[in-house]
């Protein structure tokens, strides 16, 4: 009985850090996946905002507040929105620890340029 409980304790001591590590890795990956989708979505929204004639400052403020609201960890290292005639551009560089998300999107009527 004594040896059996000792073995269980040993198992727990060994497995708990592994389980915790796995859990943290899993959560980090889930967070990164959500961040990727959310930043992509918000970048699109920022481009739409520019295309609606809003100022670059206002659209930048919108994307920053939406991203910071749902992604408490990580921040923008570079965020640039610009209008160039009838096309609108967004450059985003968001970082969280070792994870780096870079996006460059252009909005134009021509579908081949919209990436």
Partner 1 sequence: MAMIVFAPLFLTILAVLSIVLLSIYQVTSADRVCKREVLRLQHELSLLMKSLSKLNHVAQALRKKRELADENLAAALATGYGPAIAAAAAAQRAVVLEQQALALKQHQLLSQAGLERELSEQRLRALGSSVGIQELRSTPTHAATLAVRAQPITSITPDYVEAPSFRERESQTYQYKINLFERWPPWLQQHVLNPKPVSTACSATLSPQEENWKPILKKASL
Q: Which is nearer to partner 1, 97 or 111 (CB)?
A: 111
Residue 88 · residue 97 · CB < 8 Å: no
What phi, psi does 75 have (nearest 5°)? -155, 170
Determine the 3-state secondary structure of 71 from DSSP. Answer: coil
Measured in whole angstroms, the distance separating CA 77 from the mean position of its chain's CA atoms is 12
33 touches partner 1 (CB under 8 A): yes
Q: Considering the complex, state which of residue 41 and residue 73 has its C-beta at the smaller distance from partner 1.
A: 41
Q: Taking the complex as a whole, how short is the minimal distance between the CB of residue 48 and partner 1, in angstroms?
A: 6
Residues 54-83 interacting with partner 1 (rule: CB under 8 A): none
Please check whether residue 67 is in contact with residue 42, taking contact to mean a CB–CB distance below 8 angstroms.
yes
Residues of this chain that interact with partner 1 (CB under 8 A) are 11-12, 15, 18-19, 22-23, 26-27, 30, 33-34, 37-38, 40-41, 44, 48, 51-53, 85-86, 107-111, 114
């Amino acid at each position: 009985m004594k040896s059996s409980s000792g073995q269980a304790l040993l198992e727990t001591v060994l497995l708990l850090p592994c389980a915790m590590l796995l859990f943290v890795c899993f959560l980090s990956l889930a967070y990164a996946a959500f961040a990727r989708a959310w930043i992509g979505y918000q970048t699109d929204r920022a481009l739409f905002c520019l295309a609606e004639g809003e100022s670059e400052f206002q659209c930048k403020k919108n994307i920053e507040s939406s991203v910071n609201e749902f992604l408490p960890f990580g921040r923008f290292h570079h965020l640039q929105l610009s209008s160039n005639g009838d096309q609108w551009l967004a450059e985003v560089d968001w970082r969280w620890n070792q994870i780096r998300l870079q996006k460059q999107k252009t909005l134009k009527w021509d579908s081949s340029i919209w990436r």
